[in-house]
């Protein structure tokens, strides 16, 4: 048997998405920038996809820009805020995605901004009072905090932070890559400047995503030449990917509450079974809470001689899990997120299990059984 429990890294592409993309690619090959009928037809379909995505988020189609994924969008939003909106300071945290952390550090090294690393509570949640106190000095600030943490499952109170930023005139971005397709958004009611998504996190294709940029936000492209995406992102659009992304979003949002209930049940079942089978196992951040991101569970096993080999041994049993984020190519070093909340412990394997609507109870039970066997074999 095999068990795929690394859905925070990427999700299986939905069969309906494959069908949409295959049919499109077989029949539609025109360049959407071309003015002849072949190009115009594809352009029309891209705009239909844009309208569909905007409808799900309750925003204007003109506020959606297609990208290659979340990392590009994170970079674009930060560059617009600093370069075009003249923000002099960035407020973010040490447990953000590396696309945020590394880009903020680079801009600070270049002398373009200062970075305030927001204080974290013991469970990794953001200290909202620290944000408020920092913003109160009136410095033009860009606040970027992820909606759902990809490693420890903490959820940001998005509406509360958005309203706080609006109160102080701060520019606000939230990386919603892990929550898009899993929670509903109402962008007309949430005073936020940027959010972003990657299709492969909700059963769409890899290499395509989007960024929401609030109307009237001044900004210029990072990738120039071509003038696509209304001048915001040069380069021929990933037409088949965009079709698949729109279909994946339809599938996700059409039954989002049912998916939440099903996957949350799987997660709580795994927590209960791990507690029963492995005394002393702990859960990082807020990931064991029913109020956390329901697709992610971060665990730390008790000390074992199999610590360094734990993930490899799971893999040999056909179980896909992670030691943290999979967005750094070939990364094997300890998680910067777990390190940021003091959850990296010598001799204790940290394993992230993550779930989707295609995950089964049988996979959960198999993973718990094999993880228990590996732990017992190396128990100190």
The residues that are catalytic are: 327
207 torsion bin: left (phi>0), alpha (psi -120 to 50), beta (else): left
CA-CA distances (angstroms) from residue 130 to 116, 149, 305?
Answer: 10, 19, 40
Which residue reads 């759902």 in tokens? Answer: 148
HSE (side-chain half, CA atoms, 13 Å) at 268: 10
Q: Parallel, antiparallel, or unpaired for β 350-354 and 194-198?
A: unpaired
Question: Using CA atoms, how far apart are residues 142 and 115, in angstroms rounded to an integer?
Answer: 9
203: its two tokens: 């059963």
Question: Using CA atoms, how far apart are residues 200 and 101, in angstroms rounded to an integer?
Answer: 22
Which SS3 state, helix, strand or coil, does residue 194 take? strand
Contacts of 329 (CB under 8 A, 6+ apart): none
Q: Parallel, antiparallel, or unpaired for β 3-4 and 64-67?
A: unpaired
The helix (H) or strand (E) run that includes residue 251 is: helix 239-254
Which SS3 state, helix, strand or coil, does residue 51 take? helix
């Amino acid at each position: 048997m095999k068990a795929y429990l690394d859905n925070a890294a990427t999700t299986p592409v939905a069969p309906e998405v494959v069908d949409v993309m295959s049919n499109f690619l077989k029949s539609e090959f025109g360049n959407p920038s071309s003015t002849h009928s072949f190009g115009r037809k594809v352009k029309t379909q891209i705009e239909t996809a844009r309208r569909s995505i905007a409808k799900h988020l309750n925003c204007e189609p003109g506020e959606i820009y297609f990208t290659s994924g979340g990392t590009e969008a994170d970079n674009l939003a930060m560059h617009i805020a600093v370069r075009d909106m003249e923000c002099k300071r960035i407020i973010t945290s040490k447990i953000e995605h590396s696309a945020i952390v590394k880009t903020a550090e680079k801009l600070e090294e270049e002398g373009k901004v200062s970075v305030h690393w927001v204080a974290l509570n013991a469970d990794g949640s953001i200290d909202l009072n620290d944000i408020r106190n920092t913003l109160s000095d009136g410095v033009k600030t860009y606040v970027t905090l992820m909606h759902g943490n990809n490693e420890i499952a903490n959820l940001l109170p998005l509406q509360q932070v958005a309203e706080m930023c609006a109160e102080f005139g701060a520019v606000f971005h939230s990386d919603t890559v892990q929550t898009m397709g899993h929670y509903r958004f109402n962008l007309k009611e949430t005073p936020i400047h940027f959010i972003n998504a990657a299709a492969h996190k909700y059963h769409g294709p890899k290499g395509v995503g989007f960024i929401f940029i609030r109307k009237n936000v001044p900004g210029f492209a990072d990738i120039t030449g071509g003038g696509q995406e209304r001048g915001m992102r040069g380069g021929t659009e990933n037409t088949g990917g965009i079709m698949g992304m729109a279909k994946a979003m339809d599938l996700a949002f059409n039954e989002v509450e049912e998916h939440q209930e099903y996957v949350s049940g799987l997660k709580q079942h795994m927590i209960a079974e791990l507690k029963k089978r492995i005394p002393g196992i702990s859960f990082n951040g807020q990931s064991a809470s029913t109020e956390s991101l329901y697709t992610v569970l971060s665990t730390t096993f008790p000390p074992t001689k199999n610590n360094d080999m734990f993930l490899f041994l799971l893999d040999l049993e056909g179980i896909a899990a992670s030691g943290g984020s999979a967005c750094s190519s070939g990364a094997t070093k300890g998680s910067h997120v777990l390190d940021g909340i003091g959850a990296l412990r010598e001799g204790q394997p940290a394993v992230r299990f993550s779930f989707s609507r295609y995950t089964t109870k049988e996979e959960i039970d198999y993973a718990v059984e094999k993880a228990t066997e590996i732990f017992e074999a190396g128990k100190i």
